[in-house]
């Protein structure tokens, strides 16, 4: 049995019940919840002190989990999208209107990433759908890179912290618009 199997099963059960978790990602610890649970997302936004209009990133273990939510893309766009995955590349991509506003921030695009982090990918695989992924920190504060930092600063507001380490501390994912090529975070 993989050493993280039990914590991942516990985290998934908590997510399914509307809970809020922290977990390691490529560059920082992330906060996550079920993207379709409005109460869970509201709780996450309150913890972060983040306004709804900013939207949230969704991560997954594979691109196919995003397909039901995306607007039609050309083959060239699909190739570009998949060329940097899995890994620390977040794309903003046109969605088809089926995602809640609390995820998109009311925009016509959604931010998505196929994660290369084995713990984060396993969480998504076990959950069976994309997961909210936003840095573990309050708005305007540095992102937390270590499990101990998360425990010290946010534990009282979380339902679970998945053990693990980030892959490249301090290097948050790049964010780029798939269609226009505009970079939001390099």
- Would you write out the chain's pLDDT as a tens digit for each of its 186 residues? 444 578 999 999 999 999 999 999 999 999 999 999 999 999 999 999 999 999 999 999 999 999 999 999 999 999 999 999 999 999 999 999 999 999 999 999 999 999 999 999 999 999 999 999 999 999 899 999 999 999 999 999 999 999 999 998 877 789 999 999 999 987
- In degrees, rounded to 5, the angle at the alpha carbon of residue 58 between the alpha carbons of residues 56 and 59 is 145
pLDDT for the residue numbered 169: 85
CB 53 within 8 A of CB 43: no
Specify the pairing of strand 57-60 against strand 29-32.
unpaired
pLDDT for the residue numbered 172: 77
CATH of the domain at 145: 3.90.870.10
| CB half-sphere exposure, 61, CA atoms < 13 A | 12
Q: What is the largest distance, in Å, between two alpha-carbon atoms of the chain?
A: 46
pLDDT for the residue numbered 1: 43
Tell me the residue range of the domain where 142 lies. Answer: 5-185
From CA 96, how far away is CA 12, in angstroms rounded?
A: 27
What is the total count of domains within the chain?
Answer: 1
Do you know the residue count of the chain? 186
Secondary structure (3-state) at 149: helix
Is residue 123 within a helix (H) or strand (E), and if so which, with residue range? helix 118-127
- What pTM was computed for the model? 0.94
From CA 102, how far away is CA 154, in angstroms rounded?
A: 22
From CA 84, how far away is CA 91, in angstroms rounded?
A: 10
pLDDT for the residue numbered 171: 79
Q: Which of 117, 156, 169, 145 is nearest to 8 (CA)?
A: 117
């Amino acid at each position: 049995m993989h050493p993280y199997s039990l914590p991942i099963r516990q985290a998934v059960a908590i997510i399914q019940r509307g809970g809020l978790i922290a977990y390691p990602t490529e560059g920082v610890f992330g906060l996550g919840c079920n993207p379709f649970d409005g109460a869970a997302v509201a709780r996450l936004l309150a913890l972060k002190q983040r306004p709804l209009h900013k939207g949230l990133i969704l991560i997954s273990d594979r691109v196919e989990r995003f397909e039901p939510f995306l607007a039609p893309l050309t083959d060239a766009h699909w190739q570009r999208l998949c060329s940097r995955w899995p890994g620390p590349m977040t794309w903003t991509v046109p969605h088809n209107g089926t995602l809640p506003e609390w995820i998109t921030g009311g925009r016509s695009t959604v931010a998505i990433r196929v994660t290369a982090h084995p713990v984060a990918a396993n969480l998504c695989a076990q959950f069976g759908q994309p997961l909210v992924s936003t840095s573990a920190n309050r708005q305007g504060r540095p992102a937390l890179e270590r499990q101990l930092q998360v425990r010290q600063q946010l534990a009282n507001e979380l339902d679970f912290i998945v053990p693990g380490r980030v892959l490249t501390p301090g290097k948050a994912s790049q964010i780029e618009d798939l269609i226009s090529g505009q970079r939001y975070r390099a």
